[in-house]
Amino acid sequence: MGQLEDMALFIRIVDAGSITKAAEQLNVAKSAVSRRLKELEMRLGVQLISRTTRKSNLTEAGVEYYKRAKTILDDVDILNEQVSGAPALIEGTLKLTAPLSFGLLHLNDVIHDYANLHPELRFELDFTDQNVDLIEKGYELAIRIGNLQDSSYQAQRLTIIRSVICASPEYLNKNGAPKALSDLKAHHFLQYSLSPNHDLELTDRQGQRHLVSTGSRMVANNGDFLLDMAVRGHGIVSLPTFIAYQKLKNKELVPLLQQFQLPLLNAYAVYPKNKFLSKRCRKLIELITQRFGDHPYWDED
């Protein structure tokens, strides 16, 4: 193994949090990872990681080596691309987690095109609405929607996320359409269980904020299920337009209270702070941003 490979291995150990985790992510023996780290330290003549029976910590030299190694590996990619005149080969395994509905509805075409552009690249994709620990699980990248609160992550904005209040014509024929916020108390709501609260936050055209309590008829942890129940006439639902747009376009759902606006959110590409972001991740982020932009196709109508 060469020095660049040893740098990459050291970065993997640091990002994973331990030799054991790095070995699991690389699918190699822990002893092999430990041996290569020891050989690297012997060659440098300095200890990079202080290891005890209970935990491991970066030494001062290890912190500096980690920072410089990330920069060097990135520069090597750029140099190879500039000298050869052709894009550097994107390979390895891209391990990504993304929200279930957003991933299945809107990432399929992106991943299809990206895989065709880079046939040497492997993918490990996890579609879940749970915020998994990227470092512990060995994910390079996550797509997340909403307000980011974890300071241990860095984020790049991908696109805007709008939401809509809507119901089926069948439901509205039976129960009437709400014209004012006070009318909402008489209606059944279908609500997302992973939301921090079940109140509707609405802003009127004068910029005044209103918080409306609603009663739940159904609560579920999946937006596609709530969409289907709304289409079948079981109640009013507040959903991201990236889930509801086709049903709105086909008039299977009718937007309500359009004089009010629900909070605008953003979709982000998220990765651990100070982590070397591989070229395969950077290029995927670029592709998603170009594909969706600030006016994503699901909001065209």
pLDDT given at position 256: 96
pLDDT given at position 134: 84
Rounded distance between C-alpha atoms, residue 28 and residue 128, angstroms: 27
Torsion angle defined by CA atoms of residues 46, 48, 52 and 53, in that order, rounded to the nearest 10 degrees:
-120
Whether 13 contacts 48, CB under 8 Å? no
**How far, in Å, are 27, 33, 114, 212, 299 from residue 21 at the CA level?**
10, 10, 28, 46, 42
Range 3-84 has CATH code 1.10.10.10 = yes
pLDDT given at position 146: 86
The CATH architecture of the domain made up of 93-160+266-299 is 3-Layer(aba) Sandwich (3.40)
Question: Rg of the chain over CA atoms, in angstroms?
Answer: 24
3-state DSSP helix/strand/coil % of the chain, to nearest 5: 45, 25, 30
The single-letter DSSP state of residue 218 is: E
pLDDT given at position 112: 96
Reported in sequence order, the residue ranges of 168-249 that DSSP labels E, i.e. its strands, are: 189-192, 200-203, 209-212, 216-220, 236-240
Residue spans per domain, the chain? 3-84, 93-160+266-299, 163-263
207, 161, 201, 206: which is closest to 181 by C-alpha? 201
pTM strictly above 0.85: no
Q: Mean pLDDT, 10 residues at a time, over the chain (301 residues)?
A: 84 83 87 91 91 77 86 74 65 88 95 92 90 81 84 87 96 94 92 77 92 88 95 96 96 95 94 76 93 93 73
Rounded distance between C-alpha atoms, residue 71 and residue 75, angstroms: 6
Note whether 93-160+266-299 and 163-263 share their fold: yes
pLDDT given at position 85: 60
Fold of 163-263: D-Maltodextrin-Binding Protein; domain 2 (3.40.190)
